[in-house]
Amino acid sequence: MPSLEEATEKATLLMRGFAERTGLSSDRPQQRYLWTDAFAVCNFLGLGRLIGDTSYTGLALRLVDQVHHVLGRYRADDPRAGWLSGLGDREGESHPTRGGLRIGKTLPERRPGEQFDQRLEWDRDGQYFHYLTKWMHALDQVSAATGDPRFNLWARELGEVVHAAFTRPAGGRAGYRMAWKMSTDLSRPLVASMGQHDPLDGLITCAQLGTTAALLSNGVQGPDLQRAISDFVAMIEHIDLRTEDPLGLGGLLADGYRVAQLMVRGVFADGVLLKRLLAAAQEGLVHYSRHGDWQQPASRRLAFRELGLAAGLAAIERLQKDMDWGHRRAFGSDELRAWVHALGSYIGLRDVIVSAWLAPEHQRVYTWSEHRDINEVMLATSLVPDGFLIIAARGET
């Protein structure tokens, strides 16, 4: 890994290039994509703290505004117009997330009655729950950085509406399940199967939003998400969280660090969820370290998926330090600390992944250039991950 100074410089160049290229800091057409933009908001906030330059916070705020005005409204080629929520212009401005947010795919969503095509569906618009939870997290990070509770409120309003839209009875005694992809107006599922970690992301994110609201003395205003939390708890009880996918593994590790931070605030205090996450991540890492695609030629790899794992491995580094130095009592058992330190043996994989995708020859392959924006933003996250990983309300110690 480069030094912190070198990593910050590289991440700054990547994020400034992204801002210029996608119309955030230039007159170019705005190219908004919800997943990439969520990580970009966190990166700008993190760079602002590292460098001490408020202009990066300004870029984060501008990006939030663009996302809401582009992805919170219907596409230009859609016969429908206005806010996805159906609210009028003035109320929509005050509550821009109440209709959810589009993915930002190149093709319009599949029409009712149109035949499903798995290949085309990847390029069709709609709403993804796992993208929406990333945006909820990004909004919460803005509130944490600025002390402005409005962004946390928007995140909770988003959480309330998408929980209601994506969650449905499973039939019999199975409780509830979630759709993986919904239509732009949230009226019908486009892919009805459930994403493996969607309920987990929903649970941790909704719990995070509630603690931030309380820390900002804003807990009374807006939805409290307790119904959503209860449903997500029930859904994950019997879900196998294990995965060998690098992006999924990175998500488990980052989620583990979020849970650990919330344990310090008294949430998930029994340590059961953190243990599940760490155990699932370790099993996946055993396989991925031996057989993962990080050993393949760059032309056969998807950088952003590997870089998601690299960011998750950075979370393990931070969790080790927190357990050793600052919050031993909050993390409870020696067993939990043993899990964390066992995962430490995989931290070197972060350096392997990041170094590979910093190499100019790897950035010339088609799989890099085809997904340049998401690859560069995720590379920046891997270099300076704290804007994404560390959750804290302003003034919290």
pLDDT of residue 397: 41
C-alpha–C-alpha distance, residues 152 and 158, integer Å: 10
Q: How far is CA 335 from CA 278, 338, 386, in A?
A: 11, 5, 26
The tens digit of pLDDT for each residue in 148-189 reads 999 999 999 999 999 999 999 887 666 789 999 999 999 999
**Percentage above 70 pLDDT, the chain:** 95
Q: Collect all residues with Cβ–Cβ distance below 8 Å to 35 and sequence separation of at least 6.
A: 103, 128, 131, 134, 374
235 contacts 206 by C-beta, under 8 angstroms: no
> Taking 90 as the threshold, does the pLDDT of residue 131 lie above it?
yes
The tens digit of pLDDT for each residue in 225-260 reads 999 999 999 999 989 999 999 999 999 999 999 999
C-alpha–C-alpha distance, residues 102 and 31, integer Å: 13
Helix (H) or strand (E) holding 167: strand 167-169
pLDDT of residue 1: 84
C-alpha–C-alpha distance, residues 204 and 229, integer Å: 8
pLDDT of residue 333: 72
Q: How far is CA 319 from CA 110, 165, 336, 352, in A?
A: 42, 34, 11, 20
Range from 5-9, 85-89, 263-267 carrying the lowest mean pLDDT: 263-267
388 contacts 39 by C-beta, under 8 angstroms: yes
Q: Collect all residues with Cβ–Cβ distance below 8 Å to 357 and sequence separation of at least 6.
A: 303, 306, 307, 363, 368, 375, 379, 382
pLDDT of residue 169: 87
Q: How far is CA 336 from CA 275, 318, 321, 333, in A?
A: 6, 15, 14, 6
C-alpha–C-alpha distance, residues 316 and 271, integer Å: 16
DSSP string over 245-270: -HHHHHHHHHHHHHHHHHHHTTSSTT
Sign of the four-CA dihedral 90, 96, 100, 106: positive
The tens digit of pLDDT for each residue in 317-363 reads 999 888 766 555 556 577 888 888 899 999 999 999 999 999 999 99
Tokens representing residue 128 in the block:
């993804």
Sign of the four-CA dihedral 155, 161, 162, 167: positive
C-alpha–C-alpha distance, residues 317 and 314, integer Å: 5
What residue segments make up the domains of the chain, in order of their start?
72-239
Nearest to 375 by CA among 316, 301, 321: 301
Average pLDDT taken over every residue of the chain: 93
